[in-house]
Chains A and B, each alone.
Chain A
Amino acid sequence: MGTIYEGKRVLEISDEKGMYCGKLLTMVGMEVIKIEPEEGDPQRLWGPFAGHVEDKERGCFWIYYNTGKKSVTLDIYSEKGKEIVKKLASEADVLIETLKPGKMAELGLGYDDIKAINPKIVYCSITAFGQDGPYAQWNASSDIIPYAIAGNMNECGRPGFGYAPLNIGRNFTYNAAGLYSAVAILAFVRQAVNTGEGGYLDTAAIETAALWRNEDMANGQRFPYKPDRKKVGSAPPFPPGGMYKCKDGSVFIVGMSQWRSLSEWMKEVGMDIGEFDDEKYKIANNDNPDVCSHSDELNALVAALCQNYTKDELYKEGLRWHIPIVPMNSPEDVYNDEHFNERGFFVRVNHPIAGETNYPGAPAKLTATPLTVDQAAPLLGSANEEVLGTL
């Protein structure tokens, strides 16, 4: 049974900033038409390539973030191209664009131009900085730029001022901008269905990233605050916890005042924990001063415990002792993980050139109207006739 989103038409004039947004819209059954230059999106040539062959149809980045879309080639800067975009937009439900602010209006394809001929259009601009404000015309060749300004990068990385703060990388910040955009787009398409009126959405990646509030942002409101970096990905909220080496890799233990369980476990396997058997260390209080002031010693004991086990053994012991222990997984580990496979997370996708393999599937499981991710990314210009032929 359908939803109001099925078959709604989306025009995507987008680089890496808006590709995940368009992909998400295909998952609810929208028809996403990706408009590419004649030679194809430059991101098609981002390696690594499936099968190690450098080819427009084989870039893992492009063929992942464009599954389920249709590809139309068009020079949107030519008179004829502009006219065709306008014609397509006059009947579309959604338009996603990622050009520099003002550029679409310059082409006669701005929100006001489209709204005048199609009031139901939901028009979403995704940029690094947004449509207005002092940085609106700044350059951002990659999402490291908005991420750096948004305040999270500074706390990521190894403690000590000599070490560089770390970017998430791999387009994560722009993917997030795409996800937050897709949320608002769905809501506004619903409004357009109900009232005939769409709307304009101005997504700034700098703002979506600034929403990932951290402790430093809270402290920063009270006093000038320049925190040390915390190796945060593996930083426990409270000791002991963090990343520990084991026989076949590393595990991460979320520090949540669980010295009681850890010490019981250590005693069971015959470890001598000396004075740390004292009750005062076991009081479950995240700010327990006795624990906090001995975090190095406690962490050393946990490290000694972990080195006797494999990742999988530690994961299972964690379940037994009610301690959050997870393996540090590589993409290979994730791909072969029995849990994700049991849930049918991976989906078989057959790409005519890159080949058939398991793709990461739906990011959420809806029981009645599943999000679908089973169509391959389109070959360059493969929908030209279907889409442009009818104009």
Chain B
Amino acid sequence: MTNTKRPLEDILIIDNSWIVAGPHGVRLLSDLGAKVIHVESSKKKDMVRFDHIRLGVKDPKKEGGWVFQDNNRNAMGLQLNMKSAKGREIYYKLVQAADVVVSNITPRAVKSMGIDFETLSQYNPKIISVNASGMGDYGCKKDTMVFAPALNCLTGCTYTVGYEGEEGVGISVSTADDVGGAMLAFSVLQAIAQRDATGKGQFIDLSEAENMLSFIGSTILEWAYNKEQTGPIGNHAYYGPLCPHNAYSGAGRDNWMVIAIGSDEEWQRFVAEVGDEAPALKDEKFVSYEGRKANEKELDDIIAGIAVKHNNRVFAERLQNAGVSAAPVNPASETLADEHLNARGFWNLVGLPETDPRQPDFLISADVPKSMPRNEKTFKPGPAMGQDNEWILKELLHLTGEEIEEAKNDDAFI
């Protein structure tokens, strides 16, 4: 531990969110120093504790949800039943002590839970509240039931990703939620900046769909200017003078590599390294980008013929050593074992006793971006249900034993 102050150490976040988008955004703020209280109740457990992206363990009593552990690492856990009157009372006391309230549920659910901005600001006029939903707080399609893969589809992202000449197949399931979470963190910081300047809080209406549209905005802009759109082009480069730019199968079963050449000089380095294995590469027509692009299919076939004779990892590294952009396409286990990520301290093993309901050990990812001075902290896994109730009720909210007992009798902590 170091005494270095982190930029958000004065910020307390009540995290009512669940699954991916909310917790991921909160985690980024936590890495920057914010204290986080993750609120759950047995009536509405965070479903990713148990069955989403499991750590390959079948025991249903074990909390095998890795994404929960990684996104909620270092957070405190409060078990609180918002349906109990005393539970709500305690919740709003907490709101008075907090700076930010985060949720990622439908706009309707925000109101029925009593965590809408109007209600919260009655208890704390400085409060910042953010709700991340698929389509936003208002608009004719606000009630669309949206999960991340659906977001990819309805924002046009799936439309562009696929094999050439075919319908799009789209991207990794939770990516839209992850980058939605990052935008949540960004927008909360803007709201904190306003509060720093004016003392006032505000509501943030985060539509994950709109965040995705901002991400892929140049694609939409092409339609706006030219009334043209382009579907999938496989792994070829859509932007920039990159050719070859593709995935090639190495030796063996399903061992792929990518090669991306961005200049004529890089091409020369490539030919110098592997040209003897396929003299056709030395043909004049491939010397310029225009020539390579015009003969892309032929070029891909020649490179595929070389690649398939080599171990994908060894070949990519050999190309990198020759100054050529290349990489193995890692299956997840290789990404976890990757020497570069591990040398940078990106994966951190967290061990827990066998008796812990959470998994006995797993990898936790480090802060991104890495900041200097380095944040030398210990990573704690996501909180067990209600693990910090006592501290929050007694030390933070200064409730008496009697008040706590009364709330307990009202089922406030189930």
Query: Digit string of B194-225 for contact with A (CB within 8 Å is 1, else 0)?
Result: 10111010111111011101111111111111
Whether a CB of chain A sits under 8 angstroms from the CB of B370 is yes
Known contacts A64-B221, A139-B323, A156-B161; A329/B154 CB under 8 A: yes
Of the candidate stretches B36-44, B171-179, B380-388, the one touching chain A is: B171-179
Of the candidate stretches A80-88, A275-283, A336-344, the one touching chain B is: A336-344
Complex contacts, B209 vs chain A, CB 8 Å: 340
Whether a CB of chain B sits under 8 angstroms from the CB of A118 is no
Q: Which of A130, A135, A195, A360 contacts B5 (CB 8 A)?
A: A195
Whether a CB of chain A sits under 8 angstroms from the CB of B272 is no
**Which residues in window 249-292 of A have CB below 8 A to B?**
250, 252, 254, 256, 286-287
Whether the Cβ atoms of A64 and B218 lie closer than 8 Å is: yes
Known contacts A214-B174, A329-B155; A145/B191 CB under 8 A: no
Whether a CB of chain B sits under 8 angstroms from the CB of A51 is yes
Of the candidate stretches A172-180, A295-303, A379-387, the one touching chain B is: A172-180
| Interface size, chain A (Cβ < 8 Å) | 156
Whether the Cβ atoms of A142 and B245 lie closer than 8 Å is: yes
Whether a CB of chain A sits under 8 angstroms from the CB of B53 is yes
Query: Digit string of B285-318 for contact with A (CB within 8 Å is 1, else 0)?
Result: 0000000000000000000000000000000000
Whether the Cβ atoms of B326 and A145 lie closer than 8 Å is: yes
Task: Report the number of A-B residue pairs with Cβ-Cβ less than 8 Å.
Answer: 539
Q: 17 other contacts beyond A64-B218, A153-B329, with CB at 8 A cut-off? A: A60-B226, A129-B340, A133-B340, A186-B186, A212-B178, A217-B66, A217-B335, A226-B333, A233-B170, A237-B147, A326-B146, A337-B141, A339-B140, A342-B139, A343-B138, A343-B210, A366-B203
Whether the Cβ atoms of B170 and A345 lie closer than 8 Å is: no
**A20 to B186 alpha-carbon distance, docked (Å):** 13
Whether the Cβ atoms of B369 and A184 lie closer than 8 Å is: yes
Whether the Cβ atoms of A51 and B67 lie closer than 8 Å is: no
Whether the Cβ atoms of B154 and A3 lie closer than 8 Å is: no
Complex contacts, A366 vs chain B, CB 8 Å: 187, 190-191, 194, 202-205
User: Closest CB of chain A to B132's CB: distance in Å?
Assistant: 9
Complex contacts, A354 vs chain B, CB 8 Å: 225
19 contacts between A and B (CB under 8 A): A61-B218, A134-B339, A141-B262, A142-B237, A142-B260, A164-B256, A169-B233, A182-B186, A207-B341, A217-B335, A220-B336, A221-B363, A222-B57, A232-B169, A328-B168, A333-B156, A360-B214, A360-B221, A366-B203
Known contacts A51-B226, A331-B159; A359/B258 CB under 8 A: no
Whether a CB of chain B sits under 8 angstroms from the CB of A63 is yes
User: Closest CB of chain B to A322's CB: distance in Å?
Assistant: 7
User: Closest CB of chain A to B143's CB: distance in Å?
Assistant: 6
Whether a CB of chain A sits under 8 angstroms from the CB of B81 is no
**Which residues in window 310-347 of A have CB below 8 A to B?**
315, 318-319, 322-335, 337-340, 342-343, 345
Whether the Cβ atoms of A345 and B210 lie closer than 8 Å is: yes
- Which chain A residue has the least Cβ–Cβ distance from B32? A187
Whether the Cβ atoms of A335 and B150 lie closer than 8 Å is: no
Whether a CB of chain A sits under 8 angstroms from the CB of B372 is yes
Complex contacts, A203 vs chain B, CB 8 Å: 368-370
Q: Which of B203, B224, B369, B370 contacts A357 (CB 8 A)?
A: B224
**A2 to B200 alpha-carbon distance, docked (Å):** 11
Complex contacts, A161 vs chain B, CB 8 Å: 253-254
Whether the Cβ atoms of B220 and A188 lie closer than 8 Å is: no
**A4 to B194 alpha-carbon distance, docked (Å):** 7
Whether a CB of chain B sits under 8 angstroms from the CB of A202 is yes
Complex contacts, B328 vs chain A, CB 8 Å: 148-149
Q: Which of B141, B234, B260, B370 contacts A164 (CB 8 A)?
A: B234
**A188 to B373 alpha-carbon distance, docked (Å):** 12
- Which chain B residue has the least Cβ–Cβ distance from A256? B147
Whether the Cβ atoms of A334 and B155 lie closer than 8 Å is: yes
**A307 to B175 alpha-carbon distance, docked (Å):** 29
Q: Which of A130, A152, A195 contacts B344 (CB 8 A)?
A: A130
Whether a CB of chain B sits under 8 angstroms from the CB of A5 is yes
User: Closest CB of chain B to A370's CB: distance in Å?
Assistant: 9
Whether the Cβ atoms of A52 and B226 lie closer than 8 Å is: yes
Whether a CB of chain B sits under 8 angstroms from the CB of A99 is no
- Which chain B residue has the least Cβ–Cβ distance from A207? B368
Complex contacts, A210 vs chain B, CB 8 Å: 335, 341, 346, 365
User: Closest CB of chain A to B176's CB: distance in Å?
Assistant: 9
**Which residues in window 61-76 of B have CB below 8 A to A?**
64, 66-67, 70
Known contacts A180-B182, A206-B340, A331-B222; A166/B234 CB under 8 A: yes
User: Closest CB of chain B to A391's CB: distance in Å?
Assistant: 29
Whether a CB of chain B sits under 8 angstroms from the CB of A215 is yes
Query: Digit string of B327-358 for contact with A (CB within 8 Å is 1, else 0)?
Result: 11111111110111101101000000000000
**A360 to B245 alpha-carbon distance, docked (Å):** 28
